[in-house]
Every structure is written in structure tokens, then in C-alpha cells.
Amino acid sequence: MSDQQLEAGDYRRGPGGRPTREEAERRHQILLKTVFRLFSEKGWDGTSIDEIARQSGVAKTFIYARYPDKTALLVGAIERLMAEALGTLQLSEPLADDIEEGLVAFGKKLLNMALQPEALAFRRQFFAEVDRFPELARAFLERNPLLDRMAEILTNYANRGDIVLSDARTTAEHFAVLVVGIPRAIATLVGREPPAQEDRRLRAAVRLFLNGCRPRT
């Protein structure tokens, strides 16, 4: 199928036959979703620009106008994933007055995001091929917006006097490992645990975390 055929789909166009700005953005989001899915399913070598273009329904010229190569395209897909995850973690309601219940509620959001089948599949592929992207891996370790959001929540509780923080970002990393680490390992190996067991594990992790962070009398 040619680029011209791919561009001739059921797309909204503006004056002169060009896609509207809204349509171009819609296509862009479909493109990034397709990249993420194909990489998760097939890995780096099994994912070609031709296949990405075919399955997302856009022309290769559309792709190369935005990304110089496949690596940049994958980076764009990951950044989109992180932005969506950050939106999921935004609290629509004020923090619970009880810190344990507040962190449990936040932990449930983390787990529901991290234990999605597509997130686990992507993680398997990314870790298998991380040597191809050392700079990308380092950048996300250093500038992870999800950890920034966790640090913000923990700082809010610290300002109330519920916990003591010396380094909010490092403490957020510890919280993430305690809450997500074991459940994600289990889900990767044998599937997600039953909800009751997952909840017990989460509450135990939050209590352990708080035992290390509460003010000492």
C-alpha cells in the first residue's frame, strides 16, 4: 500500500485538502499508540517504520515530518505514555486527612497503571533491549515525572507534619519500590494477584513505608 493510499483514508481535511490541526494531532496520537503497541508485541527489530505506518494508517512522510528515525519515534511514544500516566495520577480530590488511607488510594492508582497487560509487555521488551537506548533509560531515571508527582504528594503530607522528609525524590523512589515492586514481579511471572491479596500487600507496604517516615517522639 502506498503512502498516497494511506493518506486517502477517512480523515477530516481543511481548505486545500490538508488535514486540519485537530485531525493532524489525532493522527499523531494514533501513531504513537501504534508504536507503543507494536514495540510491546514485537520488540525493536520486529517493528519497522513500514509496519508502523501501515497499522496506524498514516504516510511515512507524516512520520518523518515529526521524527527523524525509529529511535526518536519510540521516545515520542514513551513520552506520551508518561504524560498519560501522569494525568491518571493527578488527584481530582484533596488528599485524605489520614495519611495511610491517602497513600493506599494513591498506591492503588500506581498499581492499576503499572500492572496493565500492555505496560507489563512494554516493560519486558524495553528491559530486553535497554542496551540500545542507554541515554533514554538514563533520562527517564533522572527526569521521571511520575516520581516527581509522588514526591509532591509526600511533600504535602510532610508539610502537614505527618511524615519527615530529607529528600522527597529519593523517598518517592522508595515508596514506588515498596508499593509496585513485588506486585509487578508477580504479575510479570504468573499474572496479577486476586484483588484481596493485592490490597493486603499494598496496605502492608504503606504501613512499612510510614514506619520509616513518621516523626519520632
Higher pLDDT: 205 or 124? It is 205
Which cell is 179 given?
A: 508499593
Q: Measured between alpha carbons, how far is 37 from 119 in angstroms, rounded to an integer?
A: 10
pLDDT tens, 165-174? Answer: 999 999 999 9
pLDDT digits (tens, 9 = 90+) for 38-47: 888 888 888 8
Res 1 pLDDT > 70: no
Instruction: Tell me if 85 sits within 8 A of 146, measured CB to CB.
Output: yes
Going along the chain from its start, the domains and CATH numbers come out as 1-78 (1.10.10.60), 90-217 (1.10.357.10)
Query: Mean pLDDT, to the nearest integer, of 127-140?
Result: 74
Average pLDDT, stretch 205-209?
97
The answer to whether the beta carbons of residues 165 and 155 sit under 8 Å apart is yes
Q: What is the mean pLDDT of the chain?
A: 84
> Which range, of 23-27, 159-163, 188-192, averages the lowest pLDDT?
23-27
Query: Is it the case that residue 175 has pLDDT exceeding 50?
Result: yes
Which are the contacts of 141, defined by CB distance < 8 A and separation ≥ 6?
none
* 80 has a pLDDT exceeding 60: yes
